[in-house]
Amino acid sequence: MALKVGVIGIFLVYLALFAASAAGISPAYNFTSPKLPKPDFQFAFYAHGNLITPTNRTSFAVTVPVAKVGFARGIYVFVKNVGAENQHNGIERLFTAIFNNDSGLANSTLCFKGWDYFPDSVLGNTELAICGGTGKFRKAQGFSRISIARIDAVSAALKFDVFLFF
């Protein structure tokens, strides 16, 4: 009797594996991105960004001035010469923007995380996830689009268009 139960169990495992692999043969899934609701709060701010890493390191801590609304603090990891034909050069960003009293957002913060692919940021297509905040942004979620407002040989002024959902 124990042998029959073991054989039946093995048969059921094989059947489950076959069903799972057969499901993988189905036609390609057409993904349609969901329509986002209208943001609860939307604003923009500017920050200064360096284009050259200090002493050619691949990662470093940053403190970035945010024009008249505070500063940002965090980590940038530069990735160079990655992927086929070096098409994936960019920056992994993890930072917090801290807003000051002049902005009307006294000591409120927003946390940003995401990948900034260089050609996308030039075109204004970079999006970073907003994974929380404090003060007036407590429990906020959303995203920010980054575009380059001004650029020279070693630095850039970045515009952050922020879209928040509470």
CB 110 within 8 A of CB 137: yes
pTM: 0.67
- Residue 158's pLDDT is what? 82
pLDDT at 124: 65
The pLDDT value given to residue 137: 92
Identify the pLDDT of residue 34: 77
At 11 the pLDDT is: 56
Domain ranges of the chain: 41-165
Give the pLDDT of residue 105: 83
Name the CATH superfamily, with its identifier, for domain 41-165: Allene oxide cyclase-like (2.40.480.10)
User: Are 107 and 136 contacting, i.e. CB atoms less than 8 angstroms apart?
Assistant: no
Give me the pLDDT at residue 143, please: 94
47 near 72, Cβ under 8 Å? yes
C-alpha 137/C-alpha 128 separation (Å) is 16
CB of 76 within 8 A of CB of 59? yes
Instruction: Decide: residue 78, CB within 10 A, 0-12 exposed, 13-18 middle, 19+ buried.
Output: middle
10-residue block means of pLDDT along the chain (166 residues)?
Answer: 54 53 57 80 82 60 67 80 64 87 84 79 78 92 87 78 91
